[in-house]
């Protein structure tokens, strides 16, 4: 592995510090890729609560601020907290449904107080169990790694397609030719910029594509400026401004399950990112990353945010651009903090129409799947047992992606896990690998070697 030398010292690309201008540009690109995912959960939850415009602004600002703090914690690290990889954290969409269920319960208390109490406990749980949970990494040989990474990319595809078509199937412009054309134009622009731009400009091809797509959309009235016009210039998140934490056993158990699922997805994302940046995520790295998930979630509850976890689309951005520096992601975390403090700046990012974001996202999410396929190339798929592990795990993991209501009749506690295709596919791959690992010695000589990770893993 060739590293760039600085002052006679070998520096891994993950630890390289780009020039200030490039650092900021790359960081903004990460924010642009994740912005919609960060603000969507507080928007949905705020609408369900019937919050006023000011309260909604506080909720979104808190989510941006805490995503930035969690991302700084992950990328820079403090003590044994933080993966120290280009790893982006933010509000996990997996917590939205359980939070809406908590809000719907007639408890007589401020629903957000109950939610924040549950998020605090779930964050503390993640922090405490991180070193034990991280031991799962030993059960991730290339056949499991590759399957899970591929599944992450494939599971995200409906999100990008949904951004292009629209989130509301009853809306007049849902799946309209204009939205599809805008998504397609952005996709083509991102591909062309990646193909023909060189050096620094090639590294920010996605950001250029997003800007170009937004400029093209503007004359057609597809750019919504209302958020920008209404956003306050400055808003300082105050601890427990929307409600001091209170505790409910059922709500806490629900979000603890969500946190465990988020930890499983974060583990998979860290493994994927380690493969992409050529710094394999070992037990210590994963434990530190999961501690950051827990600490970030607890901190998020204090300032009015929700459960924090990995953002897989940013893993895709690292794979696409090959900008592997963790300081770039830290710069993105700093930008997120500023967006949380200055909503008017965040509103500028929100000008990007969703079809434009969706067109670019197809490349990002496809890059993650491609990384998984590359990892699978190191597994012996000529072995029928290895091939079966991949085939069955992908099939099981894609069930909730292809048919979101497939598990509608399952108990709510189980649905938290079953509705996550990444979690179900990961569990299936782990279980099948263990099953065929035991059976392998009974097979003919060419299938007799046990399934295990490469020495470097």
Sign for the CA dihedral angle at 338, 343, 348, 351 comes to positive
pLDDT of residue 263: 86
Give residue-wise pLDDT tens across range 93-129.
767 767 877 787 766 678 888 889 989 999 999 999 9
Give residue-wise pLDDT tens across range 137-162.
777 788 887 888 788 778 878 878 88
Give yes or no for residue 380 having a pLDDT over 60.
yes
For residue 56, how many C-alpha atoms fall within 13 Å in the half-sphere facing its CB?
17
Q: Is 309 strand, coil or helix?
A: strand
Give mean pLDDT, residues 43-51.
75
- Residue among 400, 326, 425 nearest 77 (CA): 326
Longest dimension (CA), the chain: 70
Give mean pLDDT, residues 178-191.
93
pLDDT of residue 227: 66
Which value, to the nearest 10 degrees, does the dihedral of the CA atoms of residues 3, 6, 12, 14 take? -130
Give mean pLDDT, residues 170-195.
91
Give residue-wise pLDDT tens across range 303-327.
888 888 888 778 888 888 888 999 9
- CA–chain centroid gap for 297, Å, is 14
- Residue among 100, 96, 49, 91 nearest 242 (CA): 49
Give residue-wise pLDDT tens across range 387-432.
999 999 999 989 988 898 898 888 876 776 787 787 788 889 989 9
Give residue-wise pLDDT tens across range 337-378.
998 888 777 667 667 888 988 888 888 778 778 878 888 888
pLDDT of residue 5: 43
Cβ-proximal residues to 205 (8 Å cutoff; 6+ apart), any chain: 190, 193, 194, 197, 321
pLDDT of residue 413: 66
DSSP for 351-404 reads TS-HHHHHHHHHHHHHHHHHHHHHHHTTS-TTSHHHHHHHHHHHHHHHHHHH-T
pLDDT of residue 447: 40
Rounded Cα distance between 325 and 323, Å, is 6
User: Alpha carbon of 244 to those of 46, 108, 410: distances in Å?
Assistant: 17, 15, 33
pLDDT band at 54 (very low <50, low <70, confident <90, very high): low
360 neighbors 190 (Cβ within 8 angstroms): yes
Rounded Cα distance between 111 and 106, Å, is 9
DSSP state of 450: P
Give residue-wise pLDDT tens across range 65-80.
999 999 999 999 898 9
Q: How many CB atoms lie within 10 A of CB 55?
A: 16
As a whole-number percent, the residues of the chain with pLDDT over 90 amount to 23
Average pLDDT over the chain, rounded to an integer:
82
pLDDT of residue 395: 94
User: Alpha carbon of 136 to those of 132, 256, 361, 380, 428: distances in Å?
Assistant: 8, 19, 30, 22, 14
């Amino acid at each position: 592995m060739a590293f760039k030398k600085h002052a006679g010292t070998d520096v891994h690309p993950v630890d390289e510090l780009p020039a200030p201008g490039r650092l900021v540009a790359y960081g903004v690109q990460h924010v642009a890729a994740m912005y919609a995912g960060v603000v969507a959960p507080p928007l949905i939850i705020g609408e369900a609560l019937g919050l006023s415009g000011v309260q909604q602004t506080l909720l979104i600002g808190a989510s941006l601020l805490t995503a930035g703090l969690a991302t700084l914690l992950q990328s820079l690290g403090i003590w044994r907290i933080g993966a120290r990889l280009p790893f982006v954290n933010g509000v996990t969409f997996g917590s939205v449904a359980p939070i809406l269920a908590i809000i719907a319960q007639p408890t007589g208390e401020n629903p957000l107080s109950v939610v924040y109490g549950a998020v605090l406990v779930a964050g503390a749980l993640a922090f405490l169990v991180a070193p034990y949970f991280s031991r799962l990494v030993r059960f991730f040989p290339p056949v499991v790694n590759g399957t899970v990474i591929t599944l992450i990319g494939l599971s995200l595809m409906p999100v990008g397609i949904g951004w292009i078509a629209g989130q509301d199937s009853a809306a007049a412009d849902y799946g309209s030719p204009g939205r599809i054309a805008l998504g397609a134009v952005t996709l083509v622009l991102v591909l062309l910029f990646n193909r023909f731009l060189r050096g620094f400009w090639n590294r920010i091809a996605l950001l250029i594509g997003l800007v170009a797509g937004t400029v093209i959309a503007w004359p057609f009235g597809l750019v919504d400026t209302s958020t920008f016009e209404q956003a306050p210039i400055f808003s300082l998140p105050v601890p427990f401004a929307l409600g001091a934490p209170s505790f409910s056993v059922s709500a806490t158990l629900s979000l603890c399950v969500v946190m465990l699922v988020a930890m499983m997805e974060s583990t998979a994302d860290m493994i994927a990112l380690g493969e992409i940046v050529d710094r394999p995520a070992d037990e210590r790295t994963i434990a530190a990353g999961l501690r950051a998930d827990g600490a970030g979630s607890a901190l998020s509850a204090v300032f009015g945010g929700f459960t924090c976890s990995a953002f897989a689309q940013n893993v895709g951005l690292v794979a696409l651009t090959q900008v592997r520096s963790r300081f770039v992601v830290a710069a993105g975390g700093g930008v997120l903090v500023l967006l949380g403090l200055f909503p008017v700046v965040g509103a500028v990012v929100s000008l990007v129409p969703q079809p434009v974001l969706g067109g670019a996202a197809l490349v990002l999410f496809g890059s993650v799947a491609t990384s998984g396929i590359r990892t699978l190339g190191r597994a012996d798929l000529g072995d029928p047992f290895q091939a079966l592990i991949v085939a069955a795990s992908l099939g099981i993991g894609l069930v909730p992606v292809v048919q979101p209501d497939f598990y509608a009749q399952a108990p709510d506690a189980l649905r938290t896990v079953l509705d996550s295709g990444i979690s179900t596919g990961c569990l299936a791959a782990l279980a099948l690998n263990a099953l065929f690992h035991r059976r392998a010695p009974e097979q003919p000589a060419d299938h007799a070697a046990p399934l295990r990770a490469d020495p470097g893993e």
